[in-house]
Structure 1
Amino acid sequence: MRDQLGVSPAHQRLTIDGVSIAFERSGHGQPVVCLHAVAHGARDFEKFAEVVSDRFEVIRVDWPGHGRSDPDHVFTSATRYADILDQLLAQLDLHRVILVGCSIGGAAALQYASHNPSRLAALVLCNPGGLVELTPSVRRAIGFMARFFGAGAKGARWFGFAYRLYYRLLVLPQRAAAAQRERIIEAGYDMSPLLRDAWQSFSMPDADLRADAARITLPVWFAWAKKDKLIQLEACRPAIDAMPHATLTVFRAGHAAFLEQPKRFAKGFRKFAATL
């Protein structure tokens, strides 16, 4: 079921650290690599790719265990995804890349950019993780979410209904995201072990990326979904303000501006890319 969230059957594959990674390329021009959230997939960026592929080569990636990529043998985390991203860009020999990352995909982009900026032109970050202080209350919230998804991993009967409400009301409430949202909901039980592991990783010391973010001198565009209840803009503002070349646009969305306000996001992306 998860394969419906990711790249199309006409995809390409790379082997990275023993894992077969599925990706899809479209368009011509400056490379744009799209990095999705946990339990989503490369199909999140399908419409975005269709709109901007006249001037950009859009490369959409399925993380391990997502879409059409094989399962991983390493614990799910932004650090792991940053390592995979490093090897993917090297194997494809990409340069002047614009990274577009959402949630844990944004955290992976941040972590990669802070250590390996030479291949990059800019970052586009959509509600990335890692920009809040891990206070006791934040850790409690992380623990609650990890237990929630842990119940799904154990097959709790109530989880399917709760997961549906979670996505329809909180994560992707806007109508434009409805088709992908329903695919995500249908794959909820399948993806719950990865969601549990990812949320557990968010309380680890290396999940705090505020220092990494402050070191990034690349241009960064934050495309923020203002209705996000879990990664709230106000909590992340100090980290955003500490980045020397960051700009911010706020969208009427729950977690993924490119899915929920695709036309406005694509317009903002083109405007940002034109400044590079």
Structure 2
Amino acid sequence: MIKNPDLSQTLRSLIGVQPPSALVPADGAVLAVSRSGKGVPVICLHATGHGGRDYEGFAAAIAPLGYEVIAVDWPGHGSSPAETTGRTASAERYAALLDDLIPALCGDERPILLGNSIGGAAALSFALRHPGKVRGLVLCNPGGLAPPSALTRAVIAGMVGFFAAGERGAGWFARSFAAYYRLVLSGKRAALQRARIIAAGPEMASLLKQAWDSFRQPEADLRKASTGLAVPVLFAWARHDQIVAWRFAKQAVRRIPGAEVQMFQGGHSAFLEDPEAFNAAFHGFVLGIGAGVPGPQN
């Protein structure tokens, strides 16, 4: 792990992990990470266009209970440099980064993976390939579980076009993105991070376009593979999500052996929008799977 140099205050850096942080090489990319607390490692994986700062409040609340909370910025997000490998944003790419990132951060210790949206899909994909390398999964509105349909194909095509316009610098994009994100993160408790995400929207449009394009690729569909998941999993669903909606994913989730499901207030990210309820559910799940949380740390 190498020290993270000072970066210019791009708007995206305000969404990502905050100092003290470090840079960790992983499969040709370099990822900014922050760590807080001591105990069972929890690696936090954010949605596209978000950053590791999404988990700032979660870390403050949960680390004293016996966890080491490790937040990550995906490539080109937050304080992580952009990819120089030519690879584009996708759950498949992010899962591949975890192959190097997890041993670099945790050694032989098995972490809990907490993932939201594309981060949840990446966590699920990794656990399907390496069930012995994680203790459990907490997945917040993850991608990859909705069946393809004419509606989903149309929505994805529309979002790719929307972010392509932002990438081109369309004058109307910033205002439209702000309106869109007030629907995505609808909970009042997420207002501060939502404002940062909105401010960085034009800067993040290219990566958002890449990610949305990846959602229509065959490898993004995790429904069949997920029926073989051999890792304890809690699905923590923000009930008002209109895009990664429970009604689309519930059939696939119900086919996963032993999957737990809890519903929360919010539009996409329960840990931001309904934090007290989410934190209690997270801790209860970890205690329930016997992950070895030692208790409150001084």
TM-score tier after normalising by the smaller chain length: over 0.9
| 2:71 corresponding residue in structure 1 | 60
For residues 19 and 112 of structure 1, the distance between their equivalents in structure 2, rounded to whole angstroms, comes to 17
Structure 1 residue 118 corresponds to structure 2 residue 132:
yes
Contact (CA 8 Å) 2:19, 2:34: kept in 1 or not?
A: no
* Contact persistence 2:26–2:98 (CA under 8 A): no
Q: CA deviation at 1:94?
A: 4.7
Q: Is the 8 A contact 1:31 1:94 kept in 2?
A: no
CA deviations on 1:17-65 (whole Å, 9 max, x unpaired) are: 2322110111011110000000000000000001111110111000000
Equivalent in 199, 202, 205 of residue 215 of structure 2:
202
Report the residue type matching 2:171 in the other structure: R
Indicate the SS of the match to 1:268. helix
Number of aligned residues: 275
Residues 97 and 121 of structure 1 are in contact (CA less than 8 Å); yes or no, is this contact kept in structure 2? Answer: yes
Moved more, 90-99 or 77-86: 90-99
Q: Structure 1: where are the runs of 5+ without partners?
A: none
- How far 1:86 moved relative to its partner? 1.6
- Is residue 2:241 matched to residue 1:228? yes
Residue number among 149, 158, 167 corresponding to 1:153 in the alignment: 167
Q: Secondary structure of the equivalent of 1:99?
A: strand
1:149 deviates by 0.9
- CA deviations on 1:152-203 (whole Å, 9 max, x unpaired) are 11111111111111111x1111111000000000000000000001000000
Question: Which residue in the other structure is 2:101 paired with?
Answer: 88
Number of the residue aligned with 1:166: 180
8-17 vs 180-189, which moves further: 8-17
Normalising by structure 1, report the TM-score: 0.98
TM-score, length-normalised on structure 2?
Answer: 0.91
Quick one: distance in 2 between partners of 1:87 and 1:134? 31
Tell me the amino acid that sits aligned with residue 141 of structure 2: N
- Give, in whole Å, the separation in 2 of the partners of 1:99 and 1:29: 14
Q: For structure 2, which runs of at least 5 residues remain unmatched after alignment? A: 1-10, 290-298
**Residues 136-147 of structure 1 aligned to structure 2 (within 5 Å):** 136-147=150-161
2:104 and 2:265 mapped to 1: Cα distance?
37
How far did residue 250 of structure 1 move?
0.7
Mapping for residues 237-252 of structure 1, pairs under 5 Å? 237-252=250-265
Residue equivalent to 1:9: 19
Select 2:271's aligned residue among 258, 270, 275: 258
Question: Alignment partner for residue 269 of structure 1, among 267, 273, 282?
Answer: 282
For 1:59-82, what per-residue CA distance to the aligned partner results, in whole angstroms no more than 9, with x for missing partners? 100000000001013111000000
Matched, 1:130 2:144: yes
CA shift at 1:14, angstroms? 1.0
Q: 1:44 aligns with which of 40, 44, 54?
A: 54
- Counting aligned pairs with the same residue, the percent is 46
Question: Is contact 1:217-1:245 (8 Å) kept?
Answer: no
Give SS of 1:215's match.
coil
**Whole-angstrom CA distance in 1 between matches of 2:22 and 2:55:** 16
CA contact (8 A) 2:27 2:96 kept: no
* Alignment of 1:29 onto 2:39: yes
Contact 1:110 1:212 in 2 (8 A): no
Aligned counterpart in structure 2 of residue 107 of structure 1, from 92, 114, 121: 121
- Equivalent of residue 194 in structure 2, options 181, 184, 191: 181
Q: SS of the counterpart of 1:274? A: helix
The one-letter code of the counterpart of 1:207 is: A
Separation of aligned partners in 1, 2:200 and 2:267: 19
Contact 1:27 1:56 in 2 (8 A): yes
